[in-house]
Structures are given as structure tokens and as C-alpha cells.
Amino acid sequence: MNELASLGVILFFALLAGHLVKFLRVPEVTGYLLTGVAVGPSFLGWITHDNLETLQVFSQVALGLILFSIGSVFEFSRFRAIGRQALVVTAAESLLCGALVTGGMLLAGQPWHASLLWGAISMSTGAASTLMVIRECNAQGNLTETLTGVIALNNIFCLVCFSLETRPEVPSESLVLD
């Protein structure tokens, strides 16, 4: 299947799944994920790994737009109001998650640099799915603002930790689990 047909299949089934899950009162993102599994390489195979590789640019643009929209909702006055709370939650969640994954990887016998890298990656928050559910539910209020702030700070923290850990001397072969 060519790239245009693959994109059409993805959009058609995503739209269909989005409407179907509304009857179940489940967030649309759940339908999108289940549809991706169904039509993707692991089940029906209508969308192959090669198709997904070719469409990678669309994924990157979409993720960039989602992260941009998270960043753009922050006004300095809003962040000042929730900043301390968001920083505390982000620090606790990120550091605990990173430490647990790093420790688990070390216990599993992975080299320390690969373990730190896995720990840094584990700190990331699913910005896209969280933001989609917030928007779908028209959620507003202190919890939503704090959550959006935590997502933004969390992803910034994750990217900084990831970039600090990834150095040219770390061989990519060490990142593969045996």
C-alpha cells in the first residue's frame, strides 16, 4: 500500500473508531489506540512497518503541534499561580519514576548508561493522549491547569535528562535489551 492510501486508511479508521467509542462513553483516544493495534502490523497488517516509517514525518508534526499547544496555553500569570505546585508534582513524579526504572534496569543487568537512559525516557508523560482527553471532556479548573503544567514541565525535564545522558560515546548496541 502506498503512503497516501496508508494515510487514508489511518484517518478513516481513526474517525470511525472515534465515533464508535463515544457510544461507550470512552475517550476517543482509546478508540484511536485500539484501531492502531487492529489495522497495524501486529494484527491485520493493513498498515505495515514500512508505511509507518514513511509516515513518520506526520507523527512528528502532530506531536510537535500538540506540545506547542501545551506550551502556548501557559501565560506567565497562570504559571505563577500553579508553578510551585506543578514543580513539586513534576519533581516527585519524574524523579521517582526515573529512579525506579533506572534501578530496575540495573537489577536486570543492563549497563549503567543504558539504565540511566531508560530512566530518563520513562519520565516522559503522554502529552498527546492526556491533552486529547482534557479537550474532549472540556475539563477546566485548578486540577486541569496543574495537570497541563505538570505535563509541560515533565516533558521538558525528560528531554533535558535524555539529552544529558545521550552522548556519542554511548554505543547504541547497549540500549538493546537481551
User: Tens digits of per-residue pLDDT, 9-51?
Assistant: 888 888 888 888 888 888 888 888 888 888 888 888 888 888 7
- Mean pLDDT of all residues in the chain? 80
Contacts 24+ apart (CB under 8 A), 140-145: 142/82, 145/78, 145/81, 145/82
Q: How many residues does the chain have?
A: 178
Cell readout for 149 is: 503544567
Residue range 60-76: mean pLDDT, rounded: 72
Convert the pLDDT of each residue in 114-123 to its tens digit. 898 888 888 8
Convert the pLDDT of each residue in 85-134 to its tens digit. 888 888 888 889 889 999 999 999 999 888 988 888 888 877 777 887 88
CB atoms within 10 A of CB 148: 24
